[in-house]
Amino acid sequence: MLKNIFKIIFFNVALIFFLILIFEFMFHQTGREFKKKYLKPYYGNYEFGRGTYPKNYFINDDILGFDIRPKVSPINFYSPNGILQIFSNEYGCFDLNTKYNNYIYLAGDSFAWGYDNYEKLFGTKLQNKLNKDVAKCGVTNTGQEHQFLKFQKFLNKNLISPKKIIVTHYKNDLSDDAKFPKDIVLNGWLVKKPKNSDEKRTLKDKIHKKEQIHKKKLNNNLIYFLKNHHFSIYLINNSFFVSALREFKSKLQNKNKINVKISKNNNSINCNYENYNKNTCINKNKDAINKFISYSKKNNIDLIFILYPPIDSLKNKNDIYMNLKRFLEKNTIRFVDLYTQILNSGIKIDKFYNRDGHFSEYGNNFLIKENINLFK
């Protein structure tokens, strides 16, 4: 009797898996763009820290707050765009290069760092196109202050200056600089910097307890184990069928969801570009950019900024970087105006972005093709 029950269960599981494969095959091309635009992926275990980035990928830094740990062997990162392998070289850069002589230095946040396979990233593609080494030293979750100090740290070890510096800029760099250093590493996880030692101790205890619960559930809960196991996350994260079911469930739940308005804290700083030369929050970003400008001019190094527009900025035809562009122009700093280039291309805006709002492989190819002479 028990043997027959197991046979029935196995047959049904195998049948469901087979139907999913057929469904995926049928909708692989036609459904890919639909899934990218509308369906929410499963992110894996997001119990700990920001991201959640893999444990021990980052390390505490007395000046930066945190940095990428040097010499990290390839490790799985369960990102919104699938399971990615991330790593680092001896400089704490997500880069396969180990020596830098005649090279370009790439600084920035997540747009420069990753959120896609290594070979699809802007820095990797640019290196292949120019046949020149690119030091891919972007660090996710950072602003220009962190990025410049990281650059100095890199030079203290490498000693040879780059021929060109490329800095990527995104709108959250303003708040990243205003709160710098805003993140640290606790128990191996990247977390928001605690306000004081008591809060740090409490947070550390909470993470420790979560880790204990996580380990226990991995051993005792089959569904939890499968959701946090490599092959099943890959299936769920990339499955059109499962994504569609999850999205349908989410919409049903939202029908009965009560939204509660939370009043804004009047003491909070509004980091936007409207008054780029006046707002205290903005000035911290401007000061950090000035450090890149001063260094590049003093050492006669070409400096280029890439301004990545948020996707809603493009769709609403609202160029949030106007004042930033004027600031760069005033200082004779060249920049890539992706907002104008994308709109003028006439290409569908969604093609430039992955599901999580970072640039897609298509977007990176476009960026390089349109600006290749600037990058040479």
Contact criterion met (CB below 8 Å) for 36 and 30: no
Confidence of residue 365 (pLDDT cuts 50, 70, 90): very high
- Range in 137-141, 212-216, 352-356 with the lowest mean pLDDT: 212-216
For 85-180+269-375, CATH number out of 3.40.50.1110, 3.30.1360.70, 3.20.20.70, 3.20.20.140 equals 3.40.50.1110
pLDDT digits (tens, 9 = 90+) for 217-263: 888 988 777 766 666 665 665 566 666 666 666 666 655 443 333 23
Contact criterion met (CB below 8 Å) for 58 and 67: yes
pLDDT digits (tens, 9 = 90+) for 25-39: 554 444 444 444 444
Own/partner pairs, 348-354, CB within 8 angstroms, 24+ separation: 349/311, 349/314, 349/315, 350/33, 350/36, 350/37, 350/311, 352/311, 353/311, 354/36, 354/80, 354/81, 354/115, 354/116
| 51 has pLDDT over 70 | no
Determine the average pLDDT of the residues in 44-48: 48
Query: Taking the mean position of all CA atoms in its chain, how far away is CA 358?
Result: 7
Position with higher pLDDT, 254 vs 118: 118
Write out the residue limits of the CATH 3.40.50.1110 domain(s) in the chain. Answer: 85-180+269-375
What's the pLDDT at 198?
A: 94
* Number of neighbouring beta carbons within 10 Å of residue 325: 19
Confidence of residue 282 (pLDDT cuts 50, 70, 90): confident
What's the pLDDT at 254?
A: 55
| 273 has pLDDT over 80 | yes
pTM for the structure as a whole: 0.81
pLDDT digits (tens, 9 = 90+) for 159-170: 999 999 999 999
Position with higher pLDDT, 232 vs 214: 214
Tell me how far apart the alpha carbons of residues 289 and 101 are, in angstroms, rounded to a whole number: 24
What's the pLDDT at 21?
A: 56
Q: What is the DSSP letter of 143?
A: -
Determine the average pLDDT of the residues in 324-351: 96
